[in-house]
Amino acid sequence: MRYLTGVAAPSPQTFEDVKLVLLSPWSTAALALCVAAAVTALALSAWSYRRHRWPGRLALTVLRALALSAVLALVLQPALQLRSVTRLPNHIAVVIDRSLSMSIRESGGSESRLDRARAVLTRSRPRVASWRETRVVDFFAFGAQLSPLGEAAIDGGTPSARAGSAAEPKAKRGTAAEPKAKRGTDTLSADEGATRIRAALAALRRRFRGNDLAGVVLLSDGRDNGRFGSGQLSLPSRKFLDKFGAPIHTVFVGRSLVRDVAVTTVFADDFAFVRNAVKVEADVSISGIDKPRVPVMLIRGEEIIARQVIEVKPGKREYRVRFEFVPQRVGKFVFTVAAPVYEGEALTHNNRRSFLVNVIRDRIRVLQICGRPSWDQRFLRRLLKRDPNVDLISFFILRTPTSLALVPPSELSLIPFPTEELFQKELGSFDLVILQNFNYAPYGIGIYLPHLRRYVERGGGLAMVGGDLSFTSGGYFGTPISRVLPLRLLPPSANRDRLTSSAKFRPKLTRRGRDHPILQIGATRAETVQLLKSLPSLAGVNRVAGLARGATLLAAHPQLRTASGRPMPVLATREVGKGRTLALTTDSSWHWAFKAVGRGATRRAYDRFWHGAIRWLIRDPELKYVRIIVGRSRVRRGAKQRVVIRVYRPDYSPAKDVKVSYEIAPPASTKARRKGSSKADVAVARTARTNDAGEVRLELTPHAVGAWRVKASAVVGGREASETELFLVEPAGPELRDANASDTLLRQISLATKGRYLGRAEALPELSFRPPRVLQVNWRRDIELWSRWWWLVGALLLLGLEWLLRRKLGHI
């Protein structure tokens, strides 16, 4: 075996020892039976002496016991065995905790727990030297696993916390892992992300057989997060220690109570539904804080959305707080449970804990407003009602304020149009608003049009469907709505008869329209074009001035032209702020359902068209041209994280050899250098080209704790497409969630293995260990005690004395 102590192992040594042995040839069962018979005889004799006074009764019992003992000696045949043996030195394992919690400097002091353990061993050099005279002293360090340690590491003065390097992603077409730095045996630093004492002890037991392990000296803060835990030992753990076979002496290098507030655990779901209550619970540990109340906040980004106050009670450390909030927007968000940082805390970064919540739609909430009943309104409403993923609120006007009524209004069963409730109070709760052949002016909605514009700019979807009450005919020219539509409207001064056309036509797809997801009604581009050619003609269109800036024309009228000579738009889309808008200048799309069925076809084209339009308007993630897939939404600090950027062409085939610009940014709080780090994590911007699968693969090693942002963009179909994804970097394990140390586990380990709990010892005292293993017996001599003549004479004398005393007392 190779020893890493730097000191030569002692050679096997010769010892002479004396011990008492039994030479009887009888079996153990026979000897046990003889002993039982002697004890029974003594008990019966004592019972028969009960009528005598106690001095005589006591004398008779003692004489009988001595006589029986002399007789048993003749049966057991005791002897003194003298031996000369050669023993092989066994091992004393000095095991040092190197987990992250050992780097804590309590009460703001300059000495860490690891420094304290080093000091104990430095002051114990004479003791260790005395152990080496007869044994081998091995040094080990452990965190998640046990590793040998050179003695030089104890005096090396290596830092208590390892500096982390900045995250540097590597773009490549094939993924290859970075080489892992090899840790030397002459370095000791508190950098392990776990404390697993049982695993370390099990590794020692496997390393040394039987008496080869004389004992263990364990130096730790007792914060085990493995199978032992920090509380009372479980039954399997007790059995493990009972069978360990060597004493474990423990040294506590922590302080039982430090000043610290820690958010130890957050209980929250990874997914939540928009506009549904979300519950979050968090466990908070408070120790050494002299405040009667400690506020705890739930933060989204920089906004405090909920707040709770903990009433601090003497003697109580663990508290649970509960929050509830209602998310109003879809997307992935970073939330943080945070407590204030108080002066003198041992740790400050554990006062907050972040988590990600992906807010999704449970159902798509659609508001449909129609100016009058029509076939177009009826087919679209039926389509939306039939979809279980759509929550539809539909209003269509049956009478206007100027309509002639033959009965009083109180006798009408119609409800008034809830303009204020829809456009001011509840507008933000809808994912999509459809204005279908609707003129706003008669219903006093003009004052709410700015609300509708802001709704789109903040992420809402808006579709305007044509008809004689829509676009310019509906009075939308010059309104806030006209500024977000994908079309430029004609002024109302134009000839009203020229605002619409009732001629039949087949819309003509543009180049971008062929690949747009709204018009993907076939399995392939060719099938889509063929289906559109075979569909029934549409009837009627609203005339417009042309496309708005930034809009995309998907379909145009085959004959009509704008004043500039360009084709008259029929279907167009536009992205405005965070929202999207769509304009369909005809109210006859229902022909693709009703008339198609009448001609023996199916309504599949109509259904796919409107489903595609809705998915595009609400920004369905599956319709994005650039997608980012992270390996894990949560990774440990210093662990590998893989990121895949996928780019699709307009027809959603992989975009090969496309330039991708990406940026990986750490949390904003890490722009400053981290304490103890040689350099800080910084934002990285790079470019790469996609492989044959349309992918760019990245690999990085993040060190900054918090939410990281990955942003990628590429030019697809002549337009820039981008996507942003988040992932969370968590502290490396549970080590620094709680700064408090605990000696409860160390006391139990020493008690269960017949070792000594040394507490906060300044140096190691003299300790007991298992004897070395016998390598060979040089000579042996047995001195028989039972075969001496005086032993037989003594036995007969005792029996005679008992007989004489019994006669004197009149007991026969």
Identify the weakest region by mean pLDDT among 9-23, 146-160, 434-448.
Answer: 9-23
Between CA 597 and CA 780 the distance in angstroms is 109
CB–CB of 124/763 below 8 Å? Answer: yes
Residues 6 or more apart whose CB falls under 8 angstroms from that of 43 comprise none
Between CA 70 and CA 64 the distance in angstroms is 10
Burial 748-772 (b: 16+ CB within 10 A, else e): bbbebbebbbbeebeebeebebbeb
* Alpha-carbon distances, residue 739 vs 101, 258, 260, 345, 669 (angstroms): 7, 7, 7, 9, 22
Number of CB atoms found within 10 A of residue 4's CB = 17
* Alpha-carbon distances, residue 248 vs 93, 142, 201, 436 (angstroms): 9, 15, 10, 81
Number of CB atoms found within 10 A of residue 441's CB = 12
Q: Does residue 290 carry a pLDDT above 90?
A: no
Q: Does residue 470 carry a pLDDT above 80?
A: yes
H/E run at residue 595:
helix 591-598
CB–CB of 705/727 below 8 Å? Answer: no
pLDDT in tens, 479-538: 999 999 999 999 887 566 688 898 999 999 888 888 788 888 876 777 778 888 888 899
Position 288 confidence tier, pLDDT thresholds 50, 70, 90: confident
Number of CB atoms found within 10 A of residue 584's CB = 29
Classified as helix, coil or strand, 239 is helix
- Exposed (0-12), middle (13-18) or buried (19+): which is 196, by Cβ within 10 Å? buried
Between CA 414 and CA 419 the distance in angstroms is 15
Q: Does residue 80 carry a pLDDT above 80?
A: no
What secondary structure does DSSP assign to 272-331, as a single string?
EETTS-EEEEEEEEEES---SEEEEEEEETTEEEEEEEEE--TT--EEEEEEEE---S-E
Position 296 confidence tier, pLDDT thresholds 50, 70, 90: very high
Between CA 403 and CA 414 the distance in angstroms is 13
Structure tokens at 338: 């945070």
Residue bearing the bigger pLDDT, 496 or 344: 344
Between CA 293 and CA 513 the distance in angstroms is 62
- Exposed (0-12), middle (13-18) or buried (19+): which is 85, by Cβ within 10 Å? middle
Q: What structural domains and CATH numbers belong to the chain? A: 2-87+776-808 (no CATH), 91-253+741-772 (3.40.50), 260-359 (2.60.40.10), 364-401+416-617 (3.40.50.880), 624-730 (2.60.40.1930)
- Residue type for 559, please? Q
**Alpha helices (runs of H) in 77-196, residue ranges in sequence order:** 113-123, 125-131, 152-155
pLDDT score at 31: 81
Q: Pairing state of beta strands 706-716 and 626-630?
A: unpaired
H/E run at residue 207:
helix 197-207
Classified as helix, coil or strand, 791 is helix
CB–CB of 489/545 below 8 Å? Answer: yes
pLDDT in tens, 581-591: 999 999 999 88
Number of CB atoms found within 10 A of residue 583's CB = 27
CB–CB of 554/519 below 8 Å? Answer: yes
Residue bearing the bigger pLDDT, 114 or 785: 114
Classified as helix, coil or strand, 571 is strand
Between CA 640 and CA 332 the distance in angstroms is 22
Q: What are phi and psi of 211, to 5 degrees?
A: -75, 0
Between CA 606 and CA 39 the distance in angstroms is 103
The predicted model scores a pTM of 0.60
Q: Pairing state of beta strands 248-252 and 260-267?
A: unpaired
CB–CB of 247/754 below 8 Å? Answer: yes
pLDDT in tens, 690-727: 999 899 999 988 888 888 999 999 988 777 788 899 99
- Residue type for 162, please? R
Q: Does residue 169 carry a pLDDT above 80?
A: no
Between CA 55 and CA 37 the distance in angstroms is 26
- Residue type for 56, please? G
Position 208 confidence tier, pLDDT thresholds 50, 70, 90: confident
Residue bearing the bigger pLDDT, 275 or 754: 754
Q: Does residue 9 carry a pLDDT above 60?
A: no
Structure tokens at 554: 């998907």
Q: Does residue 461 carry a pLDDT above 90?
A: yes
Mean pLDDT over 206-210 rounds to 84
Classified as helix, coil or strand, 123 is helix
